[in-house]
Structure 1
Amino acid sequence: MRHRRFPRSTDPAVAPNPGAAARERPRGDDARPPVARRFAALFASVVVLGTTAGLALAPSSPAPDPAAVALVADGSADTVAEAVQSIEVHDAAVLPGVAEESYVASTGTETLVAGGTNEDWAKLVLIEGAWPVTDENVTFMMRWMRQENGADNWWNRNNPLNNGQGSGGGSGLGSYPDLVVAAYYAAENLRSGRYPAVDAALQQGDSADATAQAIWASPWASSHYGYGTHWSSRAYDVIEAPAEAWGR
């Protein structure tokens, strides 16, 4: 700041005029009146406080995903925002249900013929009659066949159940060309309507004993298997028949 110098009067009665010096002072910041300076200071304080409050209220940004940062570090993405992927799902969106399908394996005739055992023939009868091939149904058939012809010669006359229908022997002493034909006629006879309780028990397929009781009460055998006294429930043996009995 530059000040003017006034020549000191040689007259001791004349003193320099301090007001004149004040009027000659430049009008800078320091020259503002005290009220203006106080207002400026107050305004500056308000601005600083507002800025600080804004920073305090602003939501903090989430920390970047370390995996995204790694992508940026190795050059796979230019920015973290580019590396991070997000998906927005609307509240009304309905996710599709998961389909749960079940599959039932069926045994074909050729597979059973190739097996060639009494157990294969029992299953073939069940398939021909459209009955479920359950363990209980197979067990019933194997016990029944054993009571008719015996296990070691179950294929006798290619007629394991001594069935009269289609065999040429009404008393059950007829025969069939092969065991495949015999299975067809056995199922046809059981589904003929003459053995409704046996048919129903085989359809249920959950109890070998219940189906046995149904065959005892039926007219299949005149002895009715002694109503169970001539019926064995012991474990059965799986025995293969000669190839010619199957028509092979």
Structure 2
Amino acid sequence: MLSVIALLAGLAVVPLPPSGAALPLAAADAPHVGEVQALSVAADVAAPAVSHESYVATTGEQTLVAGGTNVDWAKLVLIEGDWPVTEENITFMLRWMRQENGADNWWNRNNPLNNGQGSGGGSGLGSYPTLIEAAFYAAENLQSGRYPAVDAALARGDSADATAQAIWASAWASSHYGYGTHWSSRPYDVIEAPASAWGR
């Protein structure tokens, strides 16, 4: 009897294998014997809330049309051209629009950049049904291969001045904007076009 007690006492002080360690084959294959252990958690302990959802918001055409400003139109052109919508790109677009039609009438003939492509006016004096079509054709023309330096500068999106120099050097305007002497860099105003110009 003493030998059985000594054996049990010896087993009680044998350290358990580390967590995750493989059990000897005999122990792993042995059928379960004895009571099943249970774990209870206090009622006031709550599992943390875990969210598996994520949302990314991008400005789309409907939002820009609803806004209806010159800034919205500049962003729409950038989105149509798949160029980054950076502050530098927006600033360039607004300065350019101001040179073409003036700030207070930037939507003139629904052709803010006096673009000839798709407007029915090869010299840039044509018009579009809405500013939405105007944005599409402006981006298409800039990516046509006729203005690679402008396209590349917009793709970088890091300098309104560098993109302006690219448009001055291009054939967009026969005046070349006086190579900058007829180009204003003053801050732009945010001006809304009439709803009809947007087709709404």
2:159 aligned partner = 207
Q: Does 1:172 align with 2:172?
A: no
- Please give the alpha-carbon distance, in whole angstroms, between the structure 2 residues aligned to 1:104 and 1:197: 31
Tell me how far apart the structure 1 counterparts of residues 85 and 157 of structure 2 sit (CA, whole Å): 8
Q: Equivalents in 1 of 2:151, 2:133: separation in Å? A: 20
1:218 aligns with 2:190: no
- Between the aligned partners of 1:110 and 1:104, the Cα distance in structure 2 is 17
1:187 paired residue number: 139
Of 82, 85, 92, the residue aligned with 1:133 is: 85
Alignment of 1:33-182 (within 5 A): 105-182=57-134
For residue 207 of structure 1, what is the amino acid of its counterpart?
A: S
TM-aligned CA deviation for residue 105 of structure 1? 3.5
The AA in structure 2 aligned to 1:201 is: A
Q: Which residue of 1 aligns with 2:199?
A: 247
| C-alpha distance in 2 between matches for 1:208 and 1:105 | 25
* Residue identity matched to 2:153: A
Among 160, 170, 179, the alignment partner of 1:227 is 179
Unaligned runs of 5+ in 1: 1-81, 83-101
Residue 137 of structure 1 aligns with an amino acid whose one-letter code is: N
Shift of 1:103: 7.4
* 3-state SS in 1 of match to 2:129: coil
Question: Per the alignment, do residues 105 and 207 of structure 1 end up closer, same or farther by CA in structure 2, a change over 3 Å counting?
Answer: farther
| Compared CA separation, residues 104 and 144, structure 1 to 2 (3 A) | farther
Q: Cα offset for 1:227?
A: 0.2
Question: SS at the partner of 1:171?
Answer: coil
Max Rg structure: 1
Return the offset for 1:104: 5.8
SS across alignment from 2:132 = helix
Kindly report structure 1 stretches of 4+ aligned residues shifted beyond 6 Å: none
SS in 2 for 1:199: helix
CA–CA separation in structure 2 for the residues paired with 1:118 and 1:104: 25
Structure 2 residue runs without a partner (length 5+): 1-38, 40-53
> What TM-score do you get using the length of structure 2 for normalisation?
0.72
Distance 1:106 1:148 in 2: 29
Q: Counterparts of 2:57 and 2:159 in 1: how far apart (Å)?
A: 21
Structure 1 SS opposite 2:118? coil
Query: What is the CA-CA distance between 1:242 and the residue it aligns to?
Result: 0.2
TM-score computed with the length of structure 1 as normaliser: 0.58
Partner of 1:16: none
Task: Report how far residue 106 of structure 1 moved.
Answer: 1.6
In structure 1, distance between residues paired with 2:127 and 2:163: 25
Alpha-carbon distance in structure 1 between the residues aligned to 2:183 and 2:90:
16
